[in-house]
Structure 1
Amino acid sequence: MDMRPEPFVPPAPMPRTVPPTRLQIIWTVMHNPLELWGRPSFTLPWIETKFFKERTLIVNDPGLIRHVLVDNAANYEMSEIRQLILRPILRDGLLTAEGPVWKRSRKAMAPVFTPKHARGFAGQMLAKAEEYAARYADAGPDGKIFDISVDMTELTFAILSETLFSGEIVTASESFSDDVDRLLHRMGRVDPMDLLRAPPWVPRLTRIGGSRVLGKFRKVVADTMALRRQRMAANPDDTPQDFLTLLLQLEGPDGLTPDEIEDNILTFIGAGHETTARALAWTLYCVAQSPHVRERMEEEIDHVLATGAEPVEWLDLMPWTRAAFEEALRLYPPAPSINRAAIADDHWVSPSGETVRIDAGVTVLVMPWTLHRHELYWEKPRAFMPERFLPENRGAIGRFQYLPFGAGPRICIGATFAMQEAVIALAVLMHRYQFDVTPETKVWPVQKLTTQPRDGIPMRVSPR
């Protein structure tokens, strides 16, 4: 007899049972694209449809995903609508650059994000997590309510600032969480003009006001670059050999242009920590609703910390903590859609012999949101079940049915960095404190570039 408690099913839009009208599509895409998808998106391996007379292929089959993102990746470029949204913000940053510019930038930055190099950041990650955890010390024995979604943004920014920029980002971090929200989620939202494929010079009314925040971020980047250049010139031997220095050293005719360096610094400051922050907040929320999971995590964390193991070892020594984070990434993937467009005609043959034809110009949507909740590939797909990702079970998860960091040439460069950061942060926080939901904790996921809670995640934080 199975005595395990019924797993927690966190809030998410139910699949539509009736196709939306054109007006409903526009409204939903503008406000929360996660509410757009119908039941076929969660039950069929692929779907051909049309959005505003544009043919779209929604792909859930892992084999077809591999074909698009890996085997024939050269035939698929960033979709036009994605670039209309992101390029005004990030220009030629790593998330939006294409062709030779992307290849040059990716090659230049790869050494910083190798697993070996990422492990070298563990001590700094631990120090910043402990420093941030101290903020909860005055919560009192009965605890105090904090918006965990804001707190995790501030924590991951502190870690990113210290590890990649040696703490020398020229900005007032007190308002940084709000600035990120305004930049990425005002400037980064879908506008009706995007759906109509209007050229970039046509004003986007939904983004009015965002340009001022973008200007503020650009100034932060320019000031940060100027400060580091001064330090490099004045005392090269005392300059931190971090991500910022590396980028500036690559400036030149055979490396990166000044504009490309600025774009990549903005990408990492503005978006580099955002995905991890959202996933950490969702993890703490789901764990709070799953007492048996929290108990296993606390036992594991307490044991590992009692042994004095170095933080670089925690990722391997804390399988339950890692699994909880990975399950939160499944249910609330920070990047809920991967958008591509076919350059030339293509086709793929399924193992059963069925042919999928992809004509040039067709938009291809690989949707981690639907893939991670798909009935063909997951048991109880809407439930929070970290045990799926324990070492003895994870072999059953196909490489292309779980894409929290994407796949192929454009896989997230910071995946190892993010996993290590998350486990260290969770261990520090959960060793000292208990995070509980309250009557005010009424969360709802919305897609604004990342999958984030509509009204934050208020939780009571109390000492353990």
Structure 2
Amino acid sequence: MSSPLAPFVPPAPVPRTRPPSRFEIIRTVMRNPLELWGEPSFRLQWMKVKFFNERTLIANHPGLVRHVLVDNARNYKMAVIRQLILRPILRDGLLTAEGETWRRSRKAMAPVFTPRHAQGFAEKMLAQSRAFTIRYEVAAANSEVRDIAVDMTELTFDILSATLFSGQVAGSEAEFAGDIERLLSTMGRVDPMDLLKAPSFVPRLRRVLGRKVLAKFRNIVKQTMADRQLLIRTNPDAVPEDFLTLLIRQQGPDGLTLDEIEDNIITFIGAGHETTARALGWTLYCLANSPSDRQKVETEIDHVLAHEPDPVKWLEMMPWTRAAFEEAMRLYPPAPSINRAAIADDRWEDGEGETVTIEAGTTVLVMPWTLHRHTKLWDQPNAYIPSRFLPENRGKIDRYQYLPFGVGPRICIGATFALQEAVIALGVLMSRYRFDCVAETNPWPVQKLTTQPEGGLPMRINRR
């Protein structure tokens, strides 16, 4: 826990001081890729390395990040290793699709995630957050300890189901958190065959073990689609105008295929809510260890909820709450790596006489994990300091040094949705309850599909 003078420094791997051997790379990447990065990755603005005989550029300079992901994004495609890991789960969902398939999917979904449309989800987010807190009444009365990581997964699923699917997702939400954990523990992690770039038909042992839970997810999505298609045919007046309906209506020769619709639904059920869930859990954990910041957030929430019933306005009216969430995403970025591969030769100049050449085929790693903790970009980079994200301080943060949602053409389409969801959920939860660490609260950040707390987040819940 932080002292009045020193901010809280949450757990994270200590950067390596010597290069790992090939065996260490394989072992570490399989266990936890976050433990692979060395001290230069947090100090240098860019560095070229050989990774399994593959040219790799690690980009930490905001200008270089902008060049690769924005200014010359057309010259960079998804890296092979990333696709080998994610495509078995998401196939042609928005996170993994490329080319014309990605463009059609992005265009189809854009209307749902405009800021105006996202604001229309606020009341449902509020209702689901309030309904969720009922399960904490008994726990708070008895000062029980619950795994907040699991709880936040269930809460964000409730919100996602209610807002984007009108509560009509097939399957049992009671099993959902466990299924997500099993899916990401098996299907969402690097396999040695990925590092060797073996073709996708070569079996990956861990993913073989995950096929059953993936098949279960696919069946849930198929049933959800079938139920909605039946409703469209038999009772069109009762069809909700939500994300699911919009996607189904995009089916056709010039739109999306049924397989693409299925892939995008599973992307949002599996990955779309997972990122917010993890960030919420890390936020509550960090605030529990930073009492002065938690007090500021609680005071702000109490004031806003007492005077403003409209949740649409909370995001603007709760700068401390938003800052606490954004600082947690800095330290524990939901997507800790962004991987690209150069299609053609490229070069970038930093404006101070330095030039970076990028040969065709080079893998470019933009690592929010290292970028967000870089010693040249952040003051006290390993400390939890929410105030750096207050409106009066944001001007000091370069647009391309903080990438919780990515940037450029492939920026997360649900960023506004996620920020609004997080502030509303935190507002409801923290207005009623206080979450405190216990002796068993010893999370360790592990990179799976997202940055997850190994060991969970057991926390004691008390009524405020």
TM-score by length of 1: 0.99
Aligned-residue CA RMSD (Å): 0.9
What displacement does 1:140 show? 4.4
What's the counterpart of residue 122 of structure 1? Answer: 122
Does residue 1:196 correspond to 2:229, yes or no?
A: no
Q: Over residues 92-120 of structure 1, what are the superposed CA-to-partner deviations in whole Å (9 max), with x where a residue is unaligned?
A: 00000000000000000000000000000
Partner AA of 1:131 in structure 2? A
Distance 2:253 2:207 in 1: 35
What displacement does 1:125 show? 0.1
What's the counterpart of residue 349 of structure 2? Answer: 349
Partner AA of 1:459 in structure 2? M
Contact 1:184 1:270 (8 Å CA) reproduced: no
Partner AA of 1:254 in structure 2? D
Partner AA of 1:312 in structure 2? V
Does residue 1:373 correspond to 2:365, yes or no?
A: no
Contact 2:441 2:458 (8 Å CA) reproduced: yes
Instruction: List structure 1 segments (4+ residues) > 2 angstroms apart after TM superposition.
Output: none
What displacement does 1:142 show? 4.8
What's the counterpart of residue 417 of structure 1? Answer: 417
Partner AA of 1:77 in structure 2? K
Partner AA of 1:196 in structure 2? L
What's the counterpart of residue 246 of structure 2? Answer: 246
Partner AA of 1:309 in structure 2? P
Contact 2:32 2:447 (8 Å CA) reproduced: yes
Determine helix, strand or coil for the equivalent of 1:208.
helix
Partner AA of 1:412 in structure 2? C
Distance 1:294 1:358 in 2: 45
Q: Over residues 129-165 of structure 1, what are the superposed CA-to-partner deviations in whole Å (9 max), with x where a residue is unaligned?
A: 0000111000244511000000000000000000000
Partner AA of 2:305 in structure 1? L
Contact 2:140 2:461 (8 Å CA) reproduced: no
Partner AA of 1:376 in structure 2? K
Determine helix, strand or coil for the equivalent of 1:273.
helix
Distance 1:447 1:227 in 2: 35
Distance 1:245 1:52 in 2: 45
What's the counterpart of residue 105 of structure 2? Answer: 105
What displacement does 1:382 show? 0.2
What's the counterpart of residue 285 of structure 1? Answer: 285
What displacement does 1:4 show? 5.3
What's the counterpart of residue 169 of structure 1? Answer: 169
Q: Over residues 368-398 of structure 1, what are the superposed CA-to-partner deviations in whole Å (9 max), with x where a residue is unaligned?
A: 0000000000000000000000011111110
Distance 1:253 1:122 in 2: 34
Partner AA of 1:453 in structure 2? P
Determine helix, strand or coil for the equivalent of 1:348.
strand
Distance 1:275 1:154 in 2: 12
More off after superposition, 188-197 vs 380-389: 188-197
- Counterparts of 1:305-344 in structure 2, within 5 Å, are 305-344=305-344
Distance 1:123 1:9 in 2: 35
Contact 2:113 2:414 (8 Å CA) reproduced: yes
- Counterparts of 1:376-391 in structure 2, within 5 Å, are 376-391=376-391
Does residue 1:427 correspond to 2:427, yes or no?
A: yes
What displacement does 1:206 show? 2.0
What displacement does 1:184 show? 2.5
- Counterparts of 1:227-306 in structure 2, within 5 Å, are 227-306=227-306
What displacement does 1:208 show? 2.3
Contact 2:444 2:454 (8 Å CA) reproduced: yes
What displacement does 1:449 show? 1.4
Identical counterparts, % of pairs: 68
Q: Structure 1 unaligned runs (5+)?
A: none
What's the counterpart of residue 27 of structure 1? Answer: 27
Determine helix, strand or coil for the equivalent of 1:97.
coil
Distance 2:318 2:187 in 1: 38
What's the counterpart of residue 360 of structure 1? Answer: 360
Distance 1:293 1:157 in 2: 28
Distance 1:166 1:58 in 2: 42
What displacement does 1:80 show? 0.2
What's the counterpart of residue 215 of structure 1? Answer: 215
Distance 1:139 1:338 in 2: 39
Distance 2:223 2:242 in 1: 17
Distance 1:39 1:53 in 2: 21
Distance 1:233 1:393 in 2: 53
Partner AA of 1:284 in structure 2? L
What's the counterpart of residue 399 of structure 1? Answer: 399
Contact 2:140 2:433 (8 Å CA) reproduced: no
Partner AA of 1:26 in structure 2? I
Task: Report the CA distance shift for 1:4/1:394 in structure 2 as closer, same or farther (over 3 A).
Answer: farther
What displacement does 1:236 show? 1.1
Distance 1:314 1:290 in 2: 23
What's the counterpart of residue 150 of structure 1? Answer: 150
What displacement does 1:351 show? 1.4
Q: Structure 2 unaligned runs (5+)?
A: none
What displacement does 1:238 show? 1.5
Contact 2:149 2:456 (8 Å CA) reproduced: yes
Partner AA of 1:128 in structure 2? Q
